[in-house]
Structure 1
């Protein structure tokens, strides 16, 4: 639905009014006291008074392309990113170094423990060797004890046999005495 005649003129005046108000409300945009040259003032004025283009369809207003907001300075963002990445990588490397220091300390402690265990095992081996030598020196006496034990067992058996035989003899003697 295209606006024609008076409607188109009213729309045109509405679209011009905010631009004119901008220029009148912001007088500093036109002045060159803030370090702007005359070219900047002309450019600001041209932007503020820009008329919307009309189509050949009876003064229909056309849409302008949306302007993206100004991007932050890429260099600042890159510098910030590289600084933060450097901090991150420094932290990662520090953590890795700390892990290696911990492993080194653990290895040193383990080595000391193994050396202590080695000393203990050497002492145990030396004591075992001494015990084996003492056992070897006592072996003849142990053999004599075993022989004596065998002889005692044989004597005990002989004593039991003798006791049994004496009981038989006593029984015969009593039997003969009664007759």
Structure 2
């Protein structure tokens, strides 16, 4: 950049005569280039800061959306927990009745087996009786 300043300073409106005027023009050219450099650097840094700030705003928005989503999920989980608690309480209340139903079912199955055996025995007796009648 210093080369550019030197070349611009030497080719810009420099009088052909006088060393002092040439030196002051060079200093002014360097100062102008320096001011331009500062301005562009400032603009670049400002743009970088704006991009970074926008990234942070985006992250904040994402965090807010995520927080809201998790709050909704937490509400759903609480509702499910409450429902499961209610169902568990109801099951506890009807458990003795269910146990009685299971016992009755076992007894009915046993009775059904006994009835089936009795029916088979009655048929055998009937067949014996008929065979004795024929004689």
Q: TM-score normalized by structure 1? A: 0.59
Q: Which residue of 2 aligns with 1:166?
A: 122
Q: CA deviation at 1:141?
A: 0.9
Deviation at 1:134, TM superposition (A): 0.3
1:83 to 39, 47, 67: 39
Structure 1 segment 99-114 matched on structure 2, within 5 A: 99-114=55-70
Cα distance between partner residues in 1 of 2:78 and 2:29: 73
Matched, 1:122 2:82: no
Out of 132, 138, 152, the position equivalent to 2:108 is 152
Residue 178 in 1 paired to residue 127 in 2?
Answer: no
- Residue 121 of structure 1 aligns to a residue in which SS? helix
CA shift for structure 1 position 138? 0.6
SS of equivalent residue, structure 1 residue 173: helix
RMSD of Structure 2 on Structure 1 (CA)? 2.0
Secondary structure at the aligned position of 1:73 is classed as helix
- Ranked by relative contact order (alpha carbons within 8 Å, sequence separation 6 or more), the top structure is 1
Paired residue secondary structure (2:72): helix
Cα displacement (A) at 1:168: 0.6
Q: Structure 1: which 5+ residue stretches go unaligned?
A: 1-39, 45-69
TM-score normalised by structure 2 residue count: 0.77
Report how far residue 79 of structure 1 moved: 1.0
